[in-house]
Structure 1
């Protein structure tokens, strides 16, 4: 037997194939690490949101009062102050009209109206303006923390003001234009989606 035969027990040992033997773990190339800040696979992503979570309507809830609502709030305070001034003037006119005579009323173009009726009209208008002024101011204050009831009340209040302004405008009064503008802004501010989101926002 020669040393070159494969079955010769006295021959030279056969060369083992290169690489790790059976049973040894195979070396794997190191997994590439993802950079810092990249999301890991398998986890849901939550993009950062600004503001509060969405309310049931789906609109983003603002953190601060929208600009148009701020304008409507200022108008409510202005209207409240105006109503106090006009109400006081009307009551003073009611007191002064008690001294008027029928001839003076006729010369002023109010023929057929008694002095008592004029006094009653001025007094009623004065009390009406004075009664509405707390409502205007209260609505303006409630814009900060009020809920959906404040929004609906402001819309109804603005609609009534717009109707009064339209009547005043038909009668030739320039003040009717101001009432229409103020009332229109109040209605638009409370009816738009950002206004709804503000009044329906969660309160913790």
Structure 2
């Protein structure tokens, strides 16, 4: 039985190089076979948690964002103390006329309101800073929104005092929003 042309790709099975004189025999061609998979080894290059692309430890940008959230907590607590002391000092004075007491009491009320808002903002930043280590994508989105609102509030009502909040809010949003931050918050847990 003849198979026809020896250069026919649809010819007989076997090694096509075996029939050619002058060429060394090769055990196989193509890519080498991959090594066997170790079921106990972590997947990827230095990554664990069940698949490639998921960091085994918190990336540096996310760590920096967490530290910046704690700095925001400290700044808000300082603001709470300062506004509370200012509001308490303005309430203790004896006023001679109705008009001056009305404007000063309004200022004291505004100071108390800012003090309470600053305390609430510090609690929110502390909760987010605590959730960064084990939180999911919801914590990431909440942190992004919190950081953006912090930056906007640092720009608008408190221009001089709010510059640190503006810078910290922008940096937290950038570090949490980067791809390594997304990989950290979207990693499988278990």
Quick check: TM above 0.5? yes
Cα deviation code 1:84-116 (max 9, x no counterpart):
22112211211111134678xx9xxxx896111
How far apart, CA to CA, are the structure 2 residues paired with 1:203 and 1:116?
52
Residue 193 of structure 1: aligned partner: 179
Partner residue in 2 for 1:74? 67
1:167 counterpart (151, 156, 169): 156
The structure with the largest alpha-carbon Rg is: 1
* 1:122 maps to which of 108, 111, 135: 111
Runs of 4+ in 1 over 3 A off after TM superposition: 43-48, 99-103
Provide the C-alpha distance between the structure 2 equivalents of 1:77 and 1:62, rounded to a whole number of angstroms: 23
1:84 aligns with 2:77: yes
Deviation at 1:182, TM superposition (A): 0.5
Q: How large is the Cα RMSD of the aligned pairs?
A: 3.1
Partner residue of 2:90?
97
2-side partners of 1:87 and 1:97: how far apart? 15
Q: Quick check: 1:155–1:191 contact (8 Å CA) kept in 2?
A: yes
Say whether the 8 Å CA contact 2:84–2:112 is kept in structure 1: yes
Aligned residues: 155
TM (norm. structure 1) is: 0.65
Map of 2:170 onto structure 1? 184
TM-score of the two chains, using structure 2 as the length reference: 0.70
**What residue is the counterpart of 1:147 in the other structure?**
136
**Secondary structure at the residue paired with 2:92?**
coil
Deviation digits for residues 31-72 of structure 1 (CA, Å, limit 9, x no counterpart): x99xxxxx975x687696220314xxxxx1111111111111
Match of 2:121 in 1: 132
Any stretches of 5+ residues in structure 2 without a counterpart?
Answer: 1-25
Q: What stretches of structure 1 of length at least 5 have no aligned partner?
A: 1-31, 34-38, 55-59
